[in-house]
Structure 1
């Protein structure tokens, strides 16, 4: 009997050591990510809520007093990551992970991307020499209150070369710009992949056309792409655009007509219309 009780007690002790009661965290975990150009940008953070408190203020009793360092979140602070080298507010920042530290102010914030991620939320250990970037951004007032700290990545530029990271809480918003340079990566990819597959000549030619590079090289590549797929009306359409850019309106018109005929055979009305517009633009 004693042996049975002893085994039961051991079993209960084991359960007590391994089992845990799970409850919601006071500050929920959040993350946001997007691809800017060819670069992955991600922010991971803990999201505190106002809960009736004063957040940003000159009052030293506020949760985040003006002029004091803030981990820009709760718990272990906020981490921002870049898969490639970037520029943040014009400052070159190598790819990697950084703590996002801030010093809020009424009209302006100081922002630091901090290299020592292991510091976590222990802002008392901050060492300015470990900043990868340190800059100032304007603060703006929001019309509607944001109850829970929210970080967004938006305002992506039309050329996909920049985006803005926004920190918004209470009635305050700040944004800073992350700029990327994917051109070198694309050029390297073109060099490598056109040697592997002729189908890549099409993408290479279009990229050269859209970025204003060597149009004669673009024409050579688009001709190679057309050889491997002579019925591709979309390839012929891009060839006509390259010819137009080179000043060869006669050749561009002939190519656009050929593209339009093949698009009609394929039942693609969109390319028929695009070729019609292209031909009109050369008259």
Structure 2
């Protein structure tokens, strides 16, 4: 074969190899991601999702894919990562904002859940160094039925006040929940202080927030009065109702009833409807008598 023929063949092989490398095919353990805002914190888990494929997953001994008592990368490929946009408390331990590898050690009655600071480790459990653990806690697994075929993470059980949730892992017949708590009051209060200096309409948001957190209700009442004193804001019966609730929380029942009656009258006479505030005001008045 002459030089020209060899060069031509080499070019063909290179072109074929390049085309082959660009083929996009489904992966046995596809990438997955779940994210949710808890309070003001973005909680994200990025992971790879292995399937059961008829295998026994968790149990005692080498017959199981993930034997009890051994550190597991908690997923496939390079493992799983948890990212927090702000500081949070996980299972009672303060964890700074950032990204961490998730490792677990499954057991029959208890699972160890660990966060690891060195992302370069990936899924290499053989190089695991306990000194790089940011968190290690034990949680009780729960049985689920029917079995979950594909490993699934979820941010579950978000509390009504948005201060807590669970980082949940489910696979096969097992579900594990790790509690996470967040704090946002200080951050919101700082925003309120800054925003009210340039935008007085934020006062009503601030008053509502303080009422919801039962914080400095005298300040909440002052802010609401400042808002209602502007323009025609005193006609906004939904905000007048909030003022009545603040007064009630301050145990100023007489003033609260009078304010609720004012809100009730405004709601009844609103051409666009009362939006449910007739009933809300009547219920509030009844509760204060």
Q: Structures share a fold, TM > 0.5?
A: yes
- The 3-state SS of whatever aligns with 1:112 is strand
Give runs of aligned pairs for residues 18-97 of structure 1, distance below 5 A. 18=19, 20-97=22-99
Counterparts in 2 of 1:269 and 1:111: CA distance versus 1, 3 Å:
closer
The alpha carbon displacement at 1:16 in A equals: 3.7
2:163 pairs with 137, 161, 164, which one?
161
What TM-score does the superposition give when structure 1 sets the normalisation length?
Answer: 0.93
User: 1-side partners of 2:95 and 2:275: how far apart?
Assistant: 47
The alpha carbon displacement at 1:215 in A equals: 1.7
Counterparts in 2 of 1:127 and 1:5: CA distance versus 1, 3 Å:
closer
> Aligned pair 1:275/2:281, yes or no?
yes
Q: Does the 8 Å CA contact 1:225/1:235 hold for their aligned counterparts?
A: no
Give the structure 2 partner of residue 190 of structure 1. 192
- The 3-state SS of whatever aligns with 2:276 is helix
Root-mean-square deviation (Å): 2.0
The alpha carbon displacement at 1:12 in A equals: 7.1
The alpha carbon displacement at 1:14 in A equals: 3.9
Give the structure 2 partner of residue 174 of structure 1. 176
> Aligned pair 1:246/2:250, yes or no?
yes
The alpha carbon displacement at 1:250 in A equals: 2.2
The alpha carbon displacement at 1:15 in A equals: 5.8
The alpha carbon displacement at 1:143 in A equals: 2.5
User: 2-side partners of 1:83 and 1:258: how far apart?
Assistant: 44
User: 2-side partners of 1:98 and 1:75: how far apart?
Assistant: 16
Give the structure 1 partner of residue 116 of structure 2. 114
Q: Cα deviation per residue 1:192-228 (whole Å; 9 max; x = unaligned)?
A: 1111211111111122222222221111100011122
What TM-score does the superposition give when structure 2 sets the normalisation length?
Answer: 0.91
The alpha carbon displacement at 1:13 in A equals: 3.4
User: 1-side partners of 2:259 and 2:75: how far apart?
Assistant: 58
